[in-house]
């Protein structure tokens, strides 16, 4: 829970610093939307990325770091989908 709070604070602080530096968003509604996205970023998206990273690391450890082979077919002019 503490890590989640720290991530929320870091995301909102980064957005505030960016806005104070560059002044890219003239309307308050745009700034509020930016803060909403910074908060939502911590629920679901980061966890999904963590799962992908763990799976990739496990695959790399098992030496499954190749693309594999694909059986190729030729194109024919009369073929329709």
Distance, first Cα to last Cα, the chain: 52
Is 0.85 surpassed by the pTM of this model? no
Q: Is residue 3 domain-resident?
A: no
Confidence of residue 31 (pLDDT cuts 50, 70, 90): confident
Residue 1 lies in a domain: no
Question: Alpha-carbon torsion 9, 11, 14, 15, what sign?
Answer: negative
pLDDT digits (tens, 9 = 90+) for 46-69: 788 889 999 988 888 887 667 778
Token pair recorded at residue 20: 């104070």
Note whether 38 and 14 are within 8 A (CB): yes
Residues 19/25, Cβ–Cβ less than 8 Å: yes
In a domain, 69, yes or no: no
Question: Among 47, 77, 29, which Cα is nearest to 55's?
Answer: 47
pLDDT above 60: residue 32: yes
Average pLDDT on 20-47 reads: 85
Whether pLDDT at 20 is above 60 = yes
> Total domain count for the chain?
1
Domain region containing 49: 12-61
Does residue 76 fall inside a structural domain? no
């Amino acid at each position: 829970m503490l890590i989640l709070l720290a991530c929320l604070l870091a995301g909102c602080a980064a957005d505030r610093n960016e806005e104070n530096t560059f002044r890219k968003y003239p309307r308050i509604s745009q700034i509020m939307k930016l803060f909403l996205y910074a908060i939502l970023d911590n629920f679901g998206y980061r966890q999904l990325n963590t799962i992908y990273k763990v799976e990739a690391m496990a695959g790399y450890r098992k030496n499954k770091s190749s693309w594999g082979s694909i059986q190729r077919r030729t194109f024919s002019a009369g073929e329709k989908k």
